[in-house]
Each structure stands twice: as structure tokens, then as C-alpha cells.
Amino acid sequence: MKDNIFEKPIKKQFEFDEDVASVFDDMLSRSVPHYEDMLNLTTSFALKYTSENSTIYDLGCSTATTLINIAKNSKHDLNLVGIDTSSAMLDRAKHKTNAYGIDIEFIEDDIFNVDFKTSNVIISNYTLQFIRPMKREQLVKKIYNSLEVGSVFIFSEKVITDNKILNKQFIDEYYDFKKTQGYSEFEISQKREALENVLIPYSYEENKKMILDAGFKNFDCLFKWINFATFIAIK
């Protein structure tokens, strides 16, 4: 379905409810610049760290697009686990995996309530930014502790810069991109208002510090377009 949620005045803050879940795949493809590139890079690097029966978690898996892409491109049988708090998202994820004949374990719960098994890859695409900063640090440490040595955490986030002028230019460029995807000025402003105080982005430096403070030995950027970035951290 086409994302037209914000064509009408908003009445609440942004949440991953049934309305969002019904248009989420379209929302991602039209709202995240170079989404396909990010997805394919995440898949490619995840598979570099897997072998037969490796375990991969996707935190905030939504409709399971990333895990499905990994399964379709893997030469090995993998233990794929998707975690999300939204039952509406997971319902769509299950329909998609059934259609593709892919086996993925889905857990409907808060990430902090789930005991992760020892894992080889953990993915979190545009999820950390919705977690309050104090708890965000705790989650990254939890991720670190569950990974095997030499394994990876791959995550994508919106990022900000400390330079106010440049930050404004980044936002303007992003809104111009959204207009090319068919979103109106009204829709863009409505969504921005709905996300206010819900999505809290870090800068590149803040993400790096968070990762290194958790104990990861390496941190780097796989991809960046203006204020969207995909990072990789190696334990």
C-alpha cells in the first residue's frame, strides 16, 4: 500500500501501529535515501561473518525485509531471529516469510526483555534512534555481550552534525529528496512533528563513542548519504 498516512492532520506522536505497518515497506523505500543500497550492503557484510547454522538477530525487524534478503542470498542454513514490539509489523513479516518459504523465528517483545543467544551477527536498522539515550547505551552493551569474538553488529541510523548551518542544509536536502518521492510539504511537516521527541538521533562521533565504550574493538561507516548512515562494529 502507498504511504499516505500524513496527508491528514496528525492526532498523536509517531508509533508503529497498524496504520504504519500497512504502508511500512513503501514508507521505507520512499523515505530512506538509497534504501536498497543500504539493504544490500547490510546483507553482504552480514554474510561475510556467517557459516552453517550461524545465528543472526534483527532488532526492530518490522516486516522482516532484511532477514528475508539475507536468507535469499545465503549459501548456508542460518538461525534467523526477528524481534519487534509491534504485532502489526510481525503479522506482515509472517505473511512475507510464508510467501517466500523462509524460516524465521519471530519474537514479539521489548528488546530488553529478550535473552539473546550467542550470536554471529546482530542487525539494528533505524531502531536505536527510537530508544532513549540512557537505555541505548545499555542495549549496545547487551548486544556486545551476546556476540562471539570476531562477530559483528551492523546498524543504520539517522545522524546529526554539531554544525548548525550544515545540519540545516542536511535536513533541507533530505526534504528535497522526499519531495522527489511524491511527498508533499504538508506530509513532510506532519511527519516531522509526529517524530518530535520520539526519534532522537546521535552524531557520528556519539555513535562511535557508544560503540567503543561498549567494548567493540573496531567501528566504521559502511555507507552514508547526508544524514543517513550504516555502521559496522566488530567485537
pLDDT for 234 beyond 80: yes
Query: What angle separates helix 65-73 from helix 87-100, to the nearest 10 degrees?
Result: 20
Percent of the chain at pLDDT exceeding 90: 71
Kindly state the helix (H) or strand (E) to which residue 92 belongs, with its residue range: helix 87-100
* In contact, 157 and 211? CB cutoff 8 Å: no
Average of pLDDT values for 84-91?
92
- pLDDT, one tens digit per residue, over 138-174 is 999 999 999 999 999 999 999 999 899 999 999 899 8
Architecture (CATH level 2) of domain 16-163+201-234: 3-Layer(aba) Sandwich (3.40)
pLDDT for 220 beyond 60: yes
DSSP symbols for 177-197: HHHHTT--HHHHHHHHHHHTT
Better-predicted residue by pLDDT, 18 or 55: 55
- Phi then psi for residue 79, to 5 deg, are -95, 100
Average of pLDDT values for 14-40?
71
Average of pLDDT values for 24-28?
66
Q: Write down the pLDDT at residue 2.
A: 56
Q: What's the first-to-final CA gap in the chain, in angstroms?
A: 39
Residue 31 banded pLDDT, cuts 50, 70, 90: confident
Residue 181 banded pLDDT, cuts 50, 70, 90: confident
Residue 199 banded pLDDT, cuts 50, 70, 90: confident
Q: Write down the pLDDT at residue 23.
A: 56
Q: Write down the pLDDT at residue 29.
A: 73
- pLDDT, one tens digit per residue, over 91-124 is 999 999 999 999 999 999 999 999 999 999 999 9
Average of pLDDT values for 212-230?
97
d(C-alpha 28, C-alpha 76), whole Å: 28
pLDDT for 45 beyond 50: yes
- Phi then psi for residue 68, to 5 deg, are -65, -40
What's the predicted TM-score (pTM) here?
0.87
Domain spans of the chain, in order of start: 16-163+201-234
Q: Write down the pLDDT at residue 27.
A: 65
Kindly state the helix (H) or strand (E) to which residue 219 belongs, with its residue range: strand 218-225
Residue 7 banded pLDDT, cuts 50, 70, 90: very low
C-alpha cell at 43: 546483507
